[in-house]
Amino acid sequence: MTTSKATLSVRAGIDVDSQYGAVTPPLYLSSNFTFEDFAKPRKYDYSRSGNPTRDMLGKALAELENGYDGVITSSGMSAIYLVTHLLSKGDLIVAPHDCYGGSYRLFNSLKDRGIFEVIFIDQGDPKAVADALALKPKLIWIETPSNPLLRVVDIAKICQQAGSDVIRVADNTFLSPILQQPLDLGADIVVHSTTKYINGHSDVVGGAVIAKTQSLHEQLAWWANCTGITGSPFDSFITTRGLRTLGVRIRQHVENAEKVVDYLNQHPLIETVFYPGLKDHPTHQIAAKQQNGFGAMFSFCLNLDRVCLKAFVNNLEYFSLAESLGGVESLICHPVTMTHAAMSQQALKEAGIEANLLRLSVGIEDVNDLINDLDYALKKSQLKSLTGAPVVKLAKGSKPQAEVSPRIIEALS
């Protein structure tokens, strides 16, 4: 019997308690476990090495991703760091030139320490991919859709080009296993920042590494125990609780995002909207082929100077200025000064990340409130642009009281 991903996420750990019949599984906070007898350990002996609550989350995510098993780590970055332990000195990673700023910083920093080599390429360019693979890399890192420009690359094609001699890793944080299954498309490993959609409530930090095979999983689990970067039982418990609503949350996230995109895509102050769900998006067809939906993340360029951009952000009420994504609440991020601040100006330019780029994580609030919020902030920022003077922050729905010509006020009302 085929079971949907939404059902699997709801049923994670439900009705498995054999001692008391608890519907919700117990939380095992113990840092250590007794031995059954002298020199005879039980399945668990120390929580850094293994813990029932953490393992339950790992297995649930592996089932959702169609993998063998999952290692739960203390953060999304520690999940990425864990994967790098599969490489030796002199090995090469091929990574996207427009990947998440934290991934870029980690790969670059480890390269500078001589741990391995890395090259950043445009993975949407077949020649660049072919040239990079000709260098015989040990690992290729795929991030699709990319952060923050939502570029989509063909996972199956890249994995096929790379071949089985290359470890093929896909960061699936932006879509979750509800909308994309990279292992089915040829990847060997899937990485998540469970802080994001998996947990979905912006109240716990975590990561996950799901392997397709037992051999890869055992290597990853060994290094996770060795380095001590496994997640805590309590964080795993909270994340599993968040996981149970993943299906219904994703559905509402996507529905809201599509409506917000439609609004911004027609607004005269918006230069470009980067969202794979738009039919004129350069990689729309790839996204439609390999994804089960277009997600709730997108970015856009605002056709205003930095002062007015700041006014726009500061006049938002229902989009909080914060890093991270995937929570039930809506967030706005300025990548150049936030998530991608670690990248050099040259690297930002090569990736196409401009100073007027903003990234939205669309939450599950009433979408009409979200659109009205954006509309109000855009009007206030445009008014600031036209007057060249600070605008007094007013209650929503009220008329501007600054000394502006009636023509401008009428146009913005």
Q: How would you classify residue 397: left for phi > 0, otherwise alpha for psi between -120 and 50, otherwise beta?
A: left
Sheet holding 270-274, edge to edge: 270-274, 297-302, 357-361, 331-333, 320-321
Verify cis geometry, omega within 30 degrees of 0, for the bond prior to 148.
yes
369 flagged as catalytic: no
Tokens representing 372 are 């009205």
The catalytically annotated residue of 81, 100, 104, 197 is 100
Residue 188 among the catalytic residues? no
**Catalytic residue among 171, 188, 235, 373, which?**
171
CA 301 distance to own-chain centroid = 20
């570029």: which residue's tokens? 151
Measured distance CA(14)–CA(125) in Å, rounded: 45
Distances in whole angstroms, Cα of residue 218 to Cα of each of 65, 71, 145, 213, 391: 17, 9, 28, 9, 59
- Could you list the beta-strand ranges (E) of 179-253: 189-192, 207-211
Q: Active-site residue among 11, 48, 105, 251?
A: 48
Assigned token pair, 138: 């040990």
What's the CA gap between 186 and 103, in Å, rounded? Answer: 22
From 151, 168, 196, 244, active-site residue: 196
H-run or E-run covering 144: none
A 10 A CB-CB count for 140 gives 26
SS3 (DSSP) at 208: strand
Q: Is position 359 annotated as part of the catalytic site?
A: no
How far apart, in Å, are the Cα atoms of 172 and each of 152, 167, 169? 12, 16, 9
171 annotated active-site: yes
Which residues does the annotation mark as catalytic?
48, 100, 171, 196
